Amino acid sequence: MRTTTLFSEKKITTVAIAYFLINTFLLFRFGIQQGGEAEKFIDNASRIINGHSLFNGVFGYFYIVYTLLVALAVKMSVNLIVVAVIQVCLSFFAALCLYKLLIKILSNHSIAFLFFIIYLLCYPIQKWNFFLYSESVHTSLLVIALYSFNNWMSDKKISSLATFIVLLLLVLFSRPVGILFLLSLFVVVLTWLFGQKKMLHFYVLTAIGVASVILILNSPYTAFINPDSIRRMEIICQVPEVSTPVEYKEYNQEGLYKAFAVIKDEIGFGTFFTNGFKKLGCFLGMYRSYYSWQNNLLLICFTVFYPFTLIGVFSAPGRSFFYARVFSITYLLFTFIGIFFTCDEWSNRFISPAFPFILILAAIGVLQVLKRLNNKVVLN
């Protein structure tokens, strides 16, 4: 067993050296992208340093973890490439957490190591290490938090719970979509309570959950579901599909109730669902007409994991990976629902937080395929 561990450690060390050498070259060759969305973080970082309010008000607090990271770099007067270095290091640590998580739930070092490599090579995730955008840090925190949650589910230690709570807060305030992680966590906890026959806790927590959802639907979170975007039938954000001009505000703060009214009275449910599946196809396909064919080909290569993800979704749940599977499925379902009510981003930013869960389910799917193949070989 110790020999296997040493062998794994040597492989991890070799991969780490290669990963950091490649990223060091890329960082010093191309630097970090500071245009577009990055300008908002730089502006808010300066506002925090100077004691001013955030330019986008309460919404800015949903990005506060990343904004503080940028503010620290600005305050210390260091090149913002330092933020990219932190993102690269955090991404590698997330890959390690994924590796350890997969070992625990699959009990298969080979598959775990394979998906450790895949995570480090996953362009939809790794490309954001080189942007001053919150996607990289948020995606890494998601994986680390899921690993921490799985540890707490295994050992039930107070220290494990405390670590997870800290990570959960970091997830929630690194991007607004951190709420999807919280909702997925809530579903998993309810599933665990139901499985343990703790019905009183189950019903109380369910009631709290329903009340919380009602509050969320009336909170600033719903401002990200923009009725103007639905009315304009946007597939790609801020690119209207309708020919007639429609006024657009990024945060019109009318929320879900207005969104449902627009769907019911203006565009119809049929059009809404047709548009929704187009968004989902755009989201999962990742292809963009304005990308180079090389970039599109690279992105399409990652769709090879989708069949294995489906196998992971519909395979008989083993006890060891049951909760990681439920968590991943729930997170992806909430993401897909969110895409239906919002839009897909022009540069595939939104799929980055979803891809780790796609890979976890794909790893489960690969394990199931190998088991079936081995059974056939034994039978023959």
Q: CA-to-CA distance for 114 and 116, rounded, in angstroms?
A: 5
> 62 vs 20, 75, 183, CA distance in Å?
30, 21, 16
Asked whether the CA dihedral 55, 56, 58, 61 is positive or negative, the reply is negative
Report the phi/psi class of residue 255: left, alpha or beta, with left for phi > 0 and alpha for psi in -120 to 50. left
| In contact, 228 and 252? CB cutoff 8 Å | yes
Three-class DSSP category at 42: helix
Note the pLDDT of residue 9: 78
Supply angle C-alpha 207, 213, 218, rounded to 5: 135
Would you call 243 exposed, middle or buried from its count of C-beta atoms within 10 A (0-12, 13-18, 19+)? exposed
Which residues, in sequence order, are CB contacts of 335 under 8 Å at separation 6+? 177, 180, 353, 354
Residue 374 and residue 205: Cα distance in Å, rounded?
43
DSSP character at residue 131: B
Beta-bridge partner residues of 344? 236
C-alpha distances out from residue 87 to 23, 80, 126, 139, Å? 11, 11, 9, 10
| Nearest alpha-carbon partner for 364 in 292, 285, 311, 327 | 311
Within 8 A by CB and 6+ apart from 224, the residues are 176, 251, 342
Reported as a single tens digit per residue, the pLDDT across 65-105 is 999 999 999 988 888 999 999 999 999 999 999 999 999 99
Q: Using the 8-state DSSP alphabet, how is residue 33 labeled?
A: B
Query: Which residues of the chain, if any, have pLDDT below 70?
Result: 1-8, 217-223, 250-253, 317, 376-380
* CA-to-CA dists, residue 138 to 170, 172, 229, 290, angstroms: 8, 9, 25, 27
Query: For residue 1, what pLDDT is reported?
Result: 47
Would you state the pLDDT for residue 3? 47
Q: How far is CA 165 from CA 8, 161, 172, 193, in A?
A: 30, 6, 11, 19
| Inter-residue contact 125 to 115 (CB < 8 Å) | no
Q: Across the chain, which distance is largest between two alpha carbons, in Å?
A: 73
E-strand stretches of 229-330? none
